[in-house]
Chains A and B, each alone.
Chain A
Amino acid sequence: DTAVSQTPKYLVTQMGNDKSIKCEQNLGHDTMYWYKQDSKKFLKIMFSYNNKELIINETVPNRFSPKSPDKAHLNLHINSLELGDSAVYFCASSQNPGSSNEKLFFGSGTQLSVL
């Protein structure tokens, strides 16, 4: 059983389109995240949700809107896609975000290519 699963694995689309990436975790964790990994492998946090509440929003354009229908799901909707949005997007979760030594569990990533 996959602990953190995200779909789709690959997403190829045209500039200006709207797309969504879905994420689900079956670990019972309260906190979920979206990270963006650029072509140079640099990994940067975008959003963090704790029990469906937004905790971190890291200067991400308004075109990106996370939605958490319940604590096991955190979806990412992107409006008006731009070339610079091309990247790998990772969903992650953790159990106890208040603890600095808690590890993150990552999904396998969604490679988004905007043409």
Chain B
Amino acid sequence: GDSVTQMEGPVTLSEEAFLTINCTYTATGYPSLFWYVQYPGEGLQLLLKATKADDKGSNKGFEATYRKETTSFHLEKGSVQVSDSAVYFCALNSGGYQKVTFGIGTKLQVIP
């Protein structure tokens, strides 16, 4: 079956540091890949997505590239802010009725 593996947190960074959150996956077919973000007390919201190999999703300074050869979709940001503190979920969907598979979530804490 489909699965998503992402690094366990928490990840603690100083403001303006470089962020990488690793995500690898196993899936049948050619899934779409997503990063969702959950701010404290809120539901998840889509951060970025990529639908085919070598696509790069980007939003709010975050980027992730769909790497089919390494089955990875690592999230990066060049300079994090305190407001980026949240839980980040990597996810995939192989198609069908939106049976999205989520990773365990990585908590990011950015300190001033």
Residue numbers of A with Cβ under 8 A of B are: 4, 31, 33, 40-45, 48, 50, 55-56, 90, 92, 94, 97-109
CB neighbours of A42 from chain B (8 A) = 102, 104-105
Q: Is B41 an interface residue (CB 8 A)?
A: yes
Q: Which of A41, A97, A106 contacts B45 (CB 8 A)?
A: A106
Contact A90–B105 (Cβ < 8 Å): no
A56 CA / B100 CA spacing, docked (Å)? 11
Q: Considering the complex, give the chain B residue whose CB is closest to the CB of A108.
A: B43
Chain A nearest CB: distance from B74 CB in Å?
A: 19
Q: Which of A45, A94, A106 contacts B44 (CB 8 A)?
A: A106
CB neighbours of A43 from chain B (8 A) = 44, 89, 102, 105
Contact A31–B43 (Cβ < 8 Å): no
Given contacts A41-B105, A43-B105, contact A97 B98 (CB under 8 A): yes
A106 CA / B91 CA spacing, docked (Å)? 14
A108 CA / B102 CA spacing, docked (Å)? 17
